[in-house]
Amino acid sequence: MKYSFMTDIEVLLAYESIRNTKSRYCRLIDMKQWDELGSVFAPNAVADFSTEGNPIPLLEGRDIIVKVFKDLVHPAETVHQVHSAEIELISATEAKVISPMEDYVTFPEGSEHLSFHGYGYYYETFVAIDGQWYIQHTRLERLKFDVI
């Protein structure tokens, strides 16, 4: 796709930076590197992890998103995978991204949370701030959710 506001090289660099940011997101969650997780989110990021029948309040702000992940996911073993993303640059500093995903989350026996294997898509907006791409808005839409 040709963009009038960026050179071909700038487009490729943006795509690669966006992909790397999302890959880092998955790794930092799975490795429980909470102090670094905030580095993938814009300061005023918003996360929407509601599912049908399970409304969850929007998480607003990088620090809140990281805190909720840490509190909820820390006791679990997790594997997050994202696959080839569709990336549409809206401007030199904004992109819409759709990424197929799969996650496998197991909580310790006796936990109040269900262990599961899920599949779906992330619908996201990324923004570039001072040349670095960050997740501005993320919404996870699950297609399948298997309790394990």
pLDDT tens string, the chain, 148 residues long: the values are 788 999 999 999 999 999 999 999 999 999 999 999 999 999 999 999 877 666 678 899 999 999 999 998 999 999 999 999 999 999 999 999 999 999 999 999 999 888 999 999 999 999 999 999 999 999 999 999 999 9
Main-chain dihedrals φ then ψ at residue 85, nearest 5 degrees: -90, 145
d(CA 121, CA 99): 5
Contacts (Cβ under 8 Å, ≥6 apart) of 97: 18, 22, 85, 86, 87, 88, 122, 123, 124, 125, 126
pLDDT of residue 57: 82
Quote the strand ranges of the chain, DSSP E.
41-48, 59-60, 77-82, 86-91, 94-106, 116-129, 132-147
pLDDT of residue 49: 86
Complete domains list, the chain, with CATH = 8-147 (3.10.450.50)
pLDDT of residue 53: 66
